[in-house]
Amino acid sequence: MPSSRHLRARFSVKCDFCFRQCEIPPSGRGWCAVRVNRGGAIRSLQGHRLAALAIDPVEKKPLHHFLPGSLTLSLAQCGCSFDCDFCQNADIAKALVAGEEASPPSIVTLALEKDLPSISFTYTEPLVWQDYMIPVAEAAHEAGLRTVMVTNGAFSQASLERLLPLIDAYNIDLKGDEDFYRNVCHASMAPVLDAIGRIAAHGAHLEVTTMLIEGIHDEAMVRRLSGLLEEAGVKVWHLTRFFPRRRMARCQATGEECLDRLYAVASEGNIPHIYKGNTMYPVPMRCPSCGKVLERMAFDGRCPHCGASIYGLWS
């Protein structure tokens, strides 16, 4: 399957799975290190081997407006297209191969046996293992299951077109401004913003997450990000606390006061639903029209107080 989706140039092959669009020489690997040019076709080094498989609350993705209260079958292979200094899952994101084999049909069978309504591609970067994600998503839809993708959002144009019909809900990380992407993530912001706008326009369910690092993310940056997300049509934004990891292991964790301050700044804009994550003090869902607190569980999508329609996929 993957070989028909790549352009050949002399002895190299162009991978179109992510924004880097690597030209991979014979026997060479892409930037992600998990895809290799074998005989003029790009193949995964992982086959059907998984780096992680678990059952999670869908809120852990985080998704607060998508099948609230449900559990999701979460899975990952190794690999990522970024190199974030603060990566929370570098042990598997930067590994090459791991775990036991699990065929796409077996994943769907497991979800059905556990009576789970969705399958989530998460923990690492699903874009670099599309050749596994796509057949799982196709089989999931055939079985009546929904699909979730938790991603850095740095799609290539071709990969976004491939995946839009196959993914029902996205959580995309908007990590910071362009300087932050360049200096801390060693990546680019532009393809992420493009994907956020295109997914929102397409109508797939979309929530965005920004992890706030105290001393780096400030009021000015949060205001800029808020404006960009509002312009893109984003309705749900998660602001989460940073905890030290990887190259930033000696940095301080983001304090609750910092999270509260930046949450207040974000709330000055017009994104209707903003949540705090990795916190002892989460905020409830509120109706953006009347301001009343709403119960997400068993919610039908309309405010019982004023009748306003609330963004989300509720059942």
CA distances from 286 to 261, 278, 303, 304 (A): 19, 19, 9, 11
Cα–Cα distances (Å) from 282 to 178, 194, 240, 310, in that order, read 28, 30, 10, 19
Check whether 84 is labelled as a binding-site residue. yes
Token pair 């301050």 is found at 261
DSSP state, residue 181: I
Computed from CA positions of residues 228, 230, 236, 239, in that sequence, does the dihedral angle turn out positive or negative?
A: positive
How far, in whole angstroms, is CA 287 from its chain's centroid?
Answer: 25
**30/227 Cα distance (integer angstroms):** 34
Query: CA 302 to CA 100: how far, in whole Å?
Result: 44
Distance of CA 52 to the CA centre of its chain: 16
The DSSP-derived string for 251-291 is SPPPPHHHHHHHHHHHTTSS-SEEEEESSSS---EE-TTT-
What is the rounded distance in angstroms from the CA atom of residue 194 to the CA atom of residue 85? 23
Let me know: does 306 contact 290? Beta carbons within 8 Å. Answer: yes
Residue 80 annotated as lining a ligand binding site: yes
Tokens of 20: 């880097």
Contact predicate 161/199, CB 8 Å: no
Annotated binding site: which residue ranges? 80, 84, 87
The annotation places the binding site for [4Fe-4S] cluster at 80, 84, 87
